[in-house]
Amino acid sequence: MIVYLLCFLLFLVGLYGVITRRNLIKIAISLSIMEFSTFLLLALVGYTDGGVAPIVDPASPVQKYVDPLPQAMVLTAIVIGLATTAMLMAIIIRLYRKYGTFDIREIKTLKG
């Protein structure tokens, strides 16, 4: 049970970073940390003690495999996380070229 609590603590560290930081790069890093904690939680739920990796060897059949369904979901989620982070970085580059700073308070006061 303590593994689940530590994993959620990682999520809460990311949430603290998104709320309190003023620099755009720190906000993007904290968002990425929140995504990683959800991957870990999904992979933890599907684990069984004494199971092997889900690759079938036709010569020697095994009884107990680790659950492949959460692994398929996390595979999809990792690639979607990459797409989201890349798009966020493109927006941040564009904002830096226009306003000259990464700070969100200064960008808010500098309109136009």
Dist CA 7 CA 3 (whole Å): 6
Query: Under the criterion CB under 8 A, does residue 51 sit at the interface with another protein?
Result: yes
- Residue 70's SS3 state is helix
Given 60, 76, 109, 111, the residue binding another protein (CB under 8 A): 76
The residue assigned the tokens 């990425």 is: 32
Number of residues located near another protein, criterion CB under 8 A: 78
Contact call for residue 107 and another protein (CB under 8 A): no
- How far is it, in rounded angstroms, from Cα 9 to Cα 19? 15
Nearer to another protein, 45 or 110 (CB): 45
Is 111 near another protein (CB under 8 A)?
A: no
